[in-house]
Amino acid sequence: MDFALSEEQRQIRDTVAEFVDEEVVPRAAEIDESDEFPADLIDEMAELGLMGMPFPVEYEGAGLDYHSYAIGLAEISRGSGGLGTVVAAHTSLAGNMLYEFGDERQREEYLTALNTGEDVGAFALSEAEAGSDVPAMTTTAEPDGDGYVVDGGKLWISNGSVADTITLFAKTDPDAGRKGISSFVVRPEEDDGFIVEGTEDKLGDKGCPTAELRFDDMWIPEDRRLGEEGEGFVQALKTLNGGRITIAARSVGIARAALNEAKSYAQEREQFDHAIADFQAIQHKLADMDTKARAAELLMHEAADLKMRDEDYIKEAAQAKLYASEISREVANEGIQIHGGYGYTKDFPAERFYRDAKLSEIYEGTSEVLRNTIAQQLLDE
């Protein structure tokens, strides 16, 4: 088993790391404070090919393997957890829905614009009463001539207020449960009845707008449906499964940021005439932080490897996301502890890493749901 990065993978890592260090890290505190969508950084990432990393060049993607994509996303998230979510929702969710389930015309028209960064993507699945329980959604899409009329609303939609292309899930047969859910492409600027109710004031993940959306007699043409009617639930599960690898990557990036900051602080901060890095208690914390981050990274790459080989990776993706998200929060917590009182202030980024890390335990499958998934897969083996 070869754990070494290829030359191309190292180049991707170094290129993204340089961009993050020069452009993202210096603005991370400002993005966190203002909570404004960093459109200019998105444009710069698009120029570097970072908005369509895992998709083929025929659709203007970068044509990278999933290891490279995960590495790139981890680096972006090291600079800003919110920016990591922007890219993950745009690519792993909206982009992947179009790539996996769109027809050739839909890929050429919508996926290409996402990959070039001309458009921003979002994935509208969750509702107020339908988070983990997807079939409980109440948004409907009723046939109307050569299209559908959509009514309802969605909640917790990353990029929802800034997206140009949204993959939307709605019930085309409300009596059929999970088999009555279909998916569609929504174009907010074109579709009358698309309404942004507002955005959430969140604990962390700043810079990525999390929107509440409403659809009021919104008509969309039939050729915007992805696949056949009734396939939406399965499409969502497959998409979220791949997305969990990238949330693991986001978590790894935040954990690395927290570790790097804590290590630097420990080497500079003096108490009792010694740098606190000289004390065994601090050394043990740093050792545990690094070990956890490395283990999470390996789980992430194992799931990515299975996905690339087109093998079943449901359990591995769930394990990578579960473990990486939890250790990210743990590592960030220890980073605050190493900083002491300073870690509890906004003068240092340690507290931001903690706030950003927590979200990974909630979205794209809560830790509780993922444990159920892992257990079910284990018992079925």
Q: Which residues are catalytic?
A: 364
Q: Which residues neighbour 59 within 8 Å (Cβ) at sequence distance 6 or greater?
A: 52, 99, 107, 108, 111, 112, 115
Q: The dihedral of CA 219, 225, 230, 236: what is its sign? A: negative
Helix count (H) and strand count (E) of the chain?
Answer: 13, 10
Report the length, in residues, of the chain.
Answer: 381
CB atoms within 10 A of CB 284: 11
List helix spans (H) across the chain. Answer: 7-19, 28-34, 39-47, 66-79, 81-88, 96-101, 104-106, 112-116, 232-268, 280-308, 314-339, 350-359, 367-380
Spatial contact of 168 and 225, defined as CB atoms under 8 Å apart = no
Nearest to 73 by CA among 316, 260, 244: 244
Structure tokens at 133: 């329980």
- What span, in angstroms and rounded, lies between the C-alpha atoms of 259 and 331? 7
- Reduce the DSSP state of residue 165 to 3 states and report it: strand
What is the rounded CA–CA span in Å between residue 100 and residue 108? 13
Nearby residues of 245 by Cβ (< 8 Å), 6 or more positions away: 66, 70, 92, 300, 303, 304, 307, 317, 320, 321
